[in-house]
Amino acid sequence: QKEVEQDPGPLSVPEGAIVSLNCTYSNSAFQYFMWYRQYSRKGPELLMYTYSSGNKEDGRFTAQVDKSSKYISLFIRDSQPSDSATYLCAMNRIGANSKLTFGKGITLSVRP
Amino acid sequence: GAVVSQHPSWVICKSGTSVKIECRSLDFQATTMFWYRQFPKQSLMLMATSNEGSKATYEQGVEKDKFLINHASLTLSTLTVTSAHPEDSSFYICSARWGQGFGNTEAFFGQGTRLTVV
Protein backbone atom coordinates (compact mmCIF):
# COMPACT_ATOMS: atom_id res chain seq x y z
CA GLN A 1 0.00 0.00 0.00
CA LYS A 2 1.37 3.39 -0.93
CA GLU A 3 1.82 5.86 1.89
CA VAL A 4 -0.36 8.46 0.17
CA GLU A 5 -3.18 7.68 -2.24
CA GLN A 6 -4.93 10.31 -4.27
CA ASP A 7 -7.97 10.00 -6.53
CA PRO A 8 -6.50 9.58 -10.02
CA GLY A 9 -8.79 11.85 -12.01
CA PRO A 10 -8.82 13.71 -14.28
CA LEU A 11 -11.72 15.81 -13.11
CA SER A 12 -13.78 18.18 -15.24
CA VAL A 13 -16.39 20.50 -13.73
CA PRO A 14 -18.40 23.51 -14.93
CA GLU A 15 -17.49 26.96 -13.74
CA GLY A 16 -19.06 27.74 -10.37
CA ALA A 17 -19.11 24.12 -9.18
CA ILE A 18 -17.88 22.99 -5.81
CA VAL A 19 -14.86 20.74 -6.19
CA SER A 20 -13.81 18.11 -3.68
CA LEU A 21 -10.33 16.63 -3.87
CA ASN A 22 -9.26 13.86 -1.53
CA CYS A 23 -6.28 11.89 -0.31
CA THR A 24 -5.87 8.99 2.07
CA TYR A 25 -2.72 7.98 3.85
CA SER A 26 -1.43 5.08 5.87
CA ASN A 27 1.32 6.55 8.06
CA SER A 28 -0.11 7.72 11.36
CA ALA A 29 3.07 9.69 12.06
CA PHE A 30 2.11 12.34 9.49
CA GLN A 31 1.25 15.58 11.24
CA TYR A 32 1.47 18.24 8.53
CA PHE A 33 -0.82 18.16 5.54
CA MET A 34 -0.45 20.34 2.48
CA TRP A 35 -2.15 20.99 -0.80
CA TYR A 36 -0.12 22.23 -3.73
CA ARG A 37 -1.35 23.57 -7.05
CA GLN A 38 0.80 22.99 -10.11
CA TYR A 39 0.16 24.63 -13.45
CA SER A 40 1.47 22.95 -16.55
CA ARG A 41 5.28 23.10 -16.79
CA LYS A 42 5.60 25.03 -13.54
CA GLY A 43 6.74 24.17 -10.06
CA PRO A 44 4.15 23.44 -7.34
CA GLU A 45 2.72 26.33 -5.37
CA LEU A 46 1.68 25.86 -1.75
CA LEU A 47 -2.07 26.47 -1.42
CA MET A 48 -2.96 25.35 2.07
CA TYR A 49 -1.35 23.62 4.98
CA THR A 50 -2.85 22.20 8.14
CA TYR A 51 -1.32 20.84 11.27
CA SER A 52 -3.07 17.78 12.70
CA SER A 53 -6.84 17.44 12.42
CA GLY A 54 -9.29 20.20 11.67
CA ASN A 55 -10.42 22.63 9.03
CA LYS A 56 -8.72 25.63 7.53
CA GLU A 57 -10.31 28.14 5.22
CA ASP A 58 -8.69 30.63 2.87
CA GLY A 59 -11.02 32.42 0.51
CA ARG A 60 -12.65 29.86 -1.78
CA PHE A 61 -10.45 27.05 -0.49
CA THR A 62 -11.07 24.86 2.55
CA ALA A 63 -8.72 22.13 3.73
CA GLN A 64 -9.95 19.38 6.01
CA VAL A 65 -7.96 16.79 7.88
CA ASP A 66 -9.46 13.77 9.64
CA LYS A 67 -6.59 11.97 11.29
CA SER A 68 -8.82 9.28 12.76
CA SER A 69 -9.77 8.23 9.23
CA LYS A 70 -6.41 9.20 7.70
CA TYR A 71 -8.27 11.27 5.15
CA ILE A 72 -7.69 14.79 3.89
CA SER A 73 -9.73 16.94 1.56
CA LEU A 74 -9.51 20.18 -0.35
CA PHE A 75 -12.74 21.96 -1.27
CA ILE A 76 -12.87 24.67 -3.89
CA ARG A 77 -16.00 26.78 -3.93
CA ASP A 78 -17.21 28.75 -6.95
CA SER A 79 -14.57 27.14 -9.12
CA GLN A 80 -13.04 29.28 -11.86
CA PRO A 81 -11.31 28.39 -15.13
CA SER A 82 -8.12 29.74 -13.53
CA ASP A 83 -8.35 26.90 -11.00
CA SER A 84 -7.60 24.46 -13.81
CA ALA A 85 -4.35 22.81 -12.72
CA THR A 86 -2.96 19.70 -11.10
CA TYR A 87 -3.52 19.48 -7.36
CA LEU A 88 -1.14 17.48 -5.23
CA CYS A 89 -1.63 16.53 -1.62
CA ALA A 90 1.50 16.19 0.49
CA MET A 91 2.25 15.39 4.08
CA ASN A 92 5.12 14.83 6.47
CA ARG A 93 6.17 14.18 10.03
CA ILE A 94 7.48 16.51 12.68
CA GLY A 95 11.23 16.86 12.77
CA ALA A 96 14.20 18.44 11.12
CA ASN A 97 14.83 17.35 7.56
CA SER A 98 11.48 15.61 7.39
CA LYS A 99 10.52 14.91 3.81
CA LEU A 100 7.31 15.53 1.98
CA THR A 101 5.39 12.53 0.71
CA PHE A 102 3.26 13.47 -2.28
CA GLY A 103 0.14 12.01 -3.76
CA LYS A 104 0.15 11.40 -7.51
CA GLY A 105 -1.87 14.50 -8.20
CA ILE A 106 -5.21 15.05 -9.86
CA THR A 107 -5.73 17.26 -12.89
CA LEU A 108 -8.73 19.55 -12.59
CA SER A 109 -10.33 21.27 -15.54
CA VAL A 110 -12.95 23.97 -14.92
CA ARG A 111 -15.07 24.56 -18.01
CA PRO A 112 -16.27 28.14 -18.67
CA GLY B 1 5.66 34.41 -0.25
CA ALA B 2 9.32 33.56 -0.52
CA VAL B 3 10.79 33.20 -3.98
CA VAL B 4 12.85 30.32 -5.26
CA SER B 5 14.40 30.84 -8.65
CA GLN B 6 15.48 27.93 -10.78
CA HIS B 7 17.59 28.26 -13.88
CA PRO B 8 17.44 27.37 -16.68
CA SER B 9 13.73 26.77 -17.19
CA TRP B 10 14.50 24.43 -20.06
CA VAL B 11 17.58 22.94 -21.62
CA ILE B 12 18.34 20.63 -24.51
CA CYS B 13 21.65 18.82 -24.49
CA LYS B 14 23.41 16.11 -26.41
CA SER B 15 23.75 12.63 -25.00
CA GLY B 16 26.97 12.28 -23.01
CA THR B 17 27.25 15.90 -21.96
CA SER B 18 26.66 17.34 -18.49
CA VAL B 19 24.04 19.86 -17.49
CA LYS B 20 23.97 22.09 -14.43
CA ILE B 21 20.73 23.38 -12.91
CA GLU B 22 20.76 26.17 -10.34
CA CYS B 23 18.32 26.75 -7.52
CA ARG B 24 18.43 30.03 -5.63
CA SER B 25 16.44 31.31 -2.69
CA LEU B 26 16.06 35.00 -3.43
CA ASP B 27 14.83 36.51 -0.19
CA PHE B 28 15.61 33.99 2.51
CA GLN B 29 18.39 31.70 3.62
CA ALA B 30 17.62 28.11 2.75
CA THR B 31 18.99 25.71 5.32
CA THR B 32 17.67 22.78 3.35
CA MET B 33 17.06 22.29 -0.34
CA PHE B 34 15.32 19.38 -2.00
CA TRP B 35 15.65 18.13 -5.56
CA TYR B 36 12.74 16.35 -7.24
CA ARG B 37 12.14 14.71 -10.55
CA GLN B 38 8.74 14.57 -12.21
CA PHE B 39 7.73 12.49 -15.20
CA PRO B 40 4.67 13.45 -17.29
CA LYS B 41 1.41 12.93 -15.41
CA GLN B 42 3.32 11.63 -12.40
CA SER B 43 3.92 13.01 -8.96
CA LEU B 44 7.14 14.48 -7.66
CA MET B 45 9.83 11.97 -6.80
CA LEU B 46 12.37 13.15 -4.25
CA MET B 47 15.91 12.61 -5.47
CA ALA B 48 17.99 14.11 -2.68
CA THR B 49 18.04 16.42 0.31
CA SER B 50 20.88 18.84 0.83
CA ASN B 51 21.85 20.95 3.79
CA GLU B 52 24.17 23.87 3.37
CA GLY B 53 27.79 22.91 3.82
CA SER B 54 27.26 19.15 4.00
CA LYS B 55 26.90 16.27 1.58
CA ALA B 56 23.54 15.61 0.06
CA THR B 57 21.46 12.66 1.19
CA TYR B 58 20.23 10.70 -1.79
CA GLU B 59 17.07 8.64 -1.96
CA GLN B 60 17.29 4.95 -2.66
CA GLY B 61 17.87 4.22 -6.31
CA VAL B 62 19.27 7.66 -7.17
CA GLU B 63 22.85 7.53 -8.43
CA LYS B 64 24.90 10.07 -6.52
CA ASP B 65 27.69 10.00 -9.09
CA LYS B 66 25.28 10.81 -11.86
CA PHE B 67 23.30 13.51 -10.08
CA LEU B 68 25.84 15.72 -8.35
CA ILE B 69 24.40 18.12 -5.81
CA ASN B 70 26.25 21.04 -4.31
CA HIS B 71 24.81 23.31 -1.62
CA ALA B 72 27.71 25.65 -1.05
CA SER B 73 25.79 28.59 0.33
CA LEU B 74 22.52 29.33 2.08
CA THR B 75 21.03 30.71 -1.10
CA LEU B 76 22.31 28.40 -3.82
CA SER B 77 22.16 24.72 -4.62
CA THR B 78 23.10 23.13 -7.91
CA LEU B 79 22.21 19.83 -9.52
CA THR B 80 24.54 18.55 -12.23
CA VAL B 81 23.34 15.72 -14.42
CA THR B 82 26.55 14.10 -15.61
CA SER B 83 26.89 12.18 -18.86
CA ALA B 84 23.23 12.71 -19.59
CA HIS B 85 21.27 10.14 -21.57
CA PRO B 86 17.80 10.33 -23.13
CA GLU B 87 16.30 8.48 -20.16
CA ASP B 88 17.39 11.40 -17.96
CA SER B 89 14.97 13.65 -19.83
CA SER B 90 12.50 14.87 -17.25
CA PHE B 91 11.22 17.85 -15.30
CA TYR B 92 13.56 18.67 -12.41
CA ILE B 93 12.25 20.82 -9.56
CA CYS B 94 13.98 22.19 -6.50
CA SER B 95 12.46 23.40 -3.27
CA ALA B 96 14.03 25.42 -0.50
CA ARG B 97 13.15 25.56 3.17
CA TRP B 98 14.22 27.87 5.94
CA GLY B 99 14.50 26.73 9.50
CA GLN B 100 13.75 23.30 10.88
CA GLY B 101 10.67 24.00 12.86
CA PHE B 102 7.52 22.89 11.12
CA GLY B 103 8.38 19.98 8.93
CA ASN B 104 8.44 21.06 5.34
CA THR B 105 5.53 23.45 5.48
CA GLU B 106 7.67 26.40 4.57
CA ALA B 107 9.17 24.79 1.48
CA PHE B 108 8.93 26.91 -1.63
CA PHE B 109 9.38 25.45 -5.06
CA GLY B 110 11.29 26.68 -8.05
CA GLN B 111 9.59 26.89 -11.41
CA GLY B 112 11.26 23.69 -12.63
CA THR B 113 13.71 22.82 -15.39
CA ARG B 114 12.68 20.73 -18.34
CA LEU B 115 15.68 18.71 -19.50
CA THR B 116 15.65 17.06 -22.89
CA VAL B 117 18.59 14.88 -23.84
CA VAL B 118 18.90 14.15 -27.55
- The residue ranges of chain B whose pLDDT is under 50 are 101
Position A78 scores a pLDDT of 97
Interchain CB distance below 8 Å, B42 and A104? yes
Position B111 scores a pLDDT of 94
Spell out which residues of chain A touch residue B42, defining contact as CB-CB under 8 Å: 104-105
CA distance B67 to chain A (A): 19
| B35, B39, B43, B47, best to mutate vs chain A, most A CBs in 10 Å | B43
Would you tell me how many other CB atoms lie within 10 Å of the CB of residue A65? Answer: 24
Q: At a CB cut-off of 8 Å and minimum separation 6, what does B13 contact?
A: B19, B84, B115, B116, B117, B118
| Cα–chain center distance at A43 | 15
Residue B112 to residue A69: CA distance in whole angstroms: 34
Spell out which residues of chain B touch residue A51, defining contact as CB-CB under 8 Å: 102, 105
B98 in contact with A, Cβ within 8 Å:
no
pLDDT per residue as tens digits for the range A47-76: 998 888 889 999 999 999 999 999 999 999
Interchain CB distance below 8 Å, A43 and B111? yes
pLDDT per residue as tens digits for the range B73-89: 889 999 999 999 999 99
Interchain CB distance below 8 Å, A92 and B103? yes
Q: Which of helix, strand or coil describes residue A81?
A: helix
Share of chain A above pLDDT 70, in %: 96
